[in-house]
Amino acid sequence: MTSNTHCPKPTPLEDPDQQPYWDAANRAELALQKCESCGEFVHPPGPGCPWCGGADLAWVSIDTNVIGTVYSFIIVHRAFLPSFVEDVPYVVALVDVDGAPGVRITANVIGVDPGDVSIGMPARMFWEERSPGRRLPQWTVA
């Protein structure tokens, strides 16, 4: 396989609505927006609540020990970017976050054979450092 040492994996773009999320991620912590009007979590972060239309959103620290349940997943067998060639096959999962009703976070499931991933599987979040000072959430088996 081709080495990906010269082609780093991408990192998300930052914008004002998402900056607190990524600042927390860089501290290996999950922070989510919560609507002060209706009490619902808002993810992905945005300028307003999609549930009630309110604009009074607060950032809430969920925890550094985040657990969830695999809601859905795919197994990627063909890398679409050169930086992922060495990873195939790999799993991309949508995971329901415990303690944050309605929040699902998409990330890779790492450290488990792709064939062993299943819907309903418990997952634990960890933080992968993609570049100095830039961490992304990932999942592993809980």
Which whole-number Å values give the CA distances from 3 to 31, 77, 80, 127, in the listed order?
34, 17, 15, 23
**Residues 49-65 pLDDT 10s:** 999 999 999 999 997 89
Contact 70, 93 (CB under 8 A): yes
Q: If pLDDT is split at 50, 70 and 90, which confidence band does 4 have?
A: very low
Model confidence, pTM: 0.90
- pLDDT exceeding 70 applies to what percent of the chain? 96
Residue range 71-83: mean pLDDT, rounded: 96
What's the average model confidence in pLDDT over 28-36? 97
Domains of the chain, by residue range, sit at: 12-64, 65-142
Q: What is the pLDDT of residue 10?
A: 87
Q: What is the tens place of the pLDDT at every residue in 86-110?
A: 999 999 999 999 999 999 999 999 9
